[in-house]
Structure 1
Amino acid sequence: MSGSNDDLMKVYVFKSLPPVLWGYTRDIRVMWALEECGIPYETVGLDCGPNGLQDEVEYGQINPFKQVPAIADDGYVLAESGAILLYLAEKSGKLIPRNLKERAQVYRWLITSLNNIEPFALLVLFADMQGNSNPHMQGLRPWNAEILDRFLPQIDEMLKTQPFVVGSEFTVADIILTCVLRELRKNEILQKYPNVERYRQSCEERPAFVKVLDDYEDRLGIERGSAR
């Protein structure tokens, strides 16, 4: 539901990226949640150069860390993808249960994805991106993969009997976890966990995600499928 209007929520996203980062950036998570929640928004594109967003001086007033994504909602500014997704869920009343205990499970799995899985998934991804040019990173790859093997079996077992991490309903926790799992989609790790891989692919088939990836590729000016 993207558009252009001063009253729309503004979402700060990338409009240029090195090819190695296509499909991995965290602005995807926010736009996915916005589409699922049905919240109208407009994107503000930022250029990612060799030094990241250091040349985007004005953006430093929005997010002093100069990290993407961030949102501006009627003057209220928020950064960090996990916080933004919870805000969007609360604002819309969607993608989060009303029941307190079920809500706590959403918080649990969102935090687990960001704290226990993503740091190690990213280190594996960076090792694969850099290859033999970074022997130190390559040397740490088996250790990081081993840490992932500590968490993914439990998730694989859970997803054997339920479609989403908090039962039968798709939530913001699924958006975060799916996007974290995407960081592993091109290596061997998820092949060991068929229920996790099935879950990832199923979530990526949702119409909102497909639309977001199409819009993402169009904004970057890259061929369809390049960020899949």
Structure 2
Amino acid sequence: MKVYVFKSLPPFLWGYTRDIRAMWAMEECGIAYETVGLDCGPNGLQDETWYEPISPFKQVPVIDDNGYILAESGAILLYLAEKSGKLIPKDLQPRAQVYRWLITSLNNIEPFALPVLFADLQGDSNPHMKAQRPWHVEILARFLGPIDQMLAKQPYLTGNDFTVADIILTCVLRELRKNEILPKYPNVEKFRQRCQERPAFVKVLNAYEDRLGIPRGSAL
């Protein structure tokens, strides 16, 4: 299986890109893969015209499973789990809970986490986004508070088993890892650290840093 990933990035994007999600899931699922690296400048992949038939939005990651092309990190992770029979329950109702939490992470948490990240990255250069930051933090509390209470009683989102939903949420939480928000939710932060200690994540992040040619720990 091929996975399209970044091989160069501006420093402000180190460790935030979504190719980490796909490779982490592949490692956890035991799926052999090869990476196809793309260069990303400050304005994205605008010059990669050959990539348009593969990814019309010019986004990363994309997987190529023997000619079957799939984009969007959430869809990719569910596909990998279903294909391998790992990181997702076999029975419908517990499997639906994995869908639920994966969708919650992408639909309810990330839309507010990303503006916080952008506000922090852009600072005074974008006063509008900076002014909106407290509102986004307030909305995040609506979701992170109940999740924090839930994670006080169980190690992962759906209970005792690590799933692709945990990969997605961990990677979304990484968008907040350098600000003041996560320490307010100690069980959420412990969850993030617990997931990042998994050997598959460590392997992927090390390979990610090596591919970008950046010092060890720069993307952590």
Which stretch of the first structure deviates more once superposed, 28-37 or 129-138?
Answer: 129-138
Runs (4+) of structure 1 exceeding 6 A deviation are: none
Distance of 1:167 and 1:194 partners within structure 2: 18
Of 147, 167, 171, the match for 2:163: 171
Q: Cα distance, 1:169 vs. partner? A: 0.4
Residue 92 (1) aligns with residue 91 (2): no
Q: Cα distance, 1:51 vs. partner? A: 2.5
The answer for unaligned runs of 5 or more in structure 2 is: none
What residue is the counterpart of 1:50 in the other structure? Answer: 42
What residue is the counterpart of 2:95 in the other structure? Answer: 103
1:37-76 alignment runs, 5 A limit: 37-76=29-68
Distance of 1:86 and 1:75 partners within structure 2: 18
Q: Deviations over 1:89-143 (max 9, x none)?
A: 0000000001211101000000000000001000000000011111111000000
Aligned-residue CA RMSD in angstroms? 0.5
State the TM-score, normalizing by the size of structure 1. Answer: 0.96
Q: Cα distance, 1:36 vs. partner? A: 0.1
Q: Which SS does the other structure have where 1:174 is aligned?
A: helix
- How high is the sequence identity, in percent, across the aligned residues? 80
1:20-39 alignment runs, 5 A limit: 20-39=12-31
Distance of 1:208 and 1:74 partners within structure 2: 23
State the TM-score, normalizing by the size of structure 2. Answer: 0.99
Q: Cα distance, 1:171 vs. partner? A: 0.2
Distance of 1:57 and 1:51 partners within structure 2: 14
Distance of 2:39 and 2:206 partners within structure 1: 19
1:1-228 alignment runs, 5 A limit: 9-228=1-220
Q: Cα distance, 1:58 vs. partner? A: 1.2
Distance of 2:41 and 2:153 partners within structure 1: 44
Q: Deviations over 1:21-73 (max 9, x none)?
A: 00000000000000000000000000002321111111111011100000000
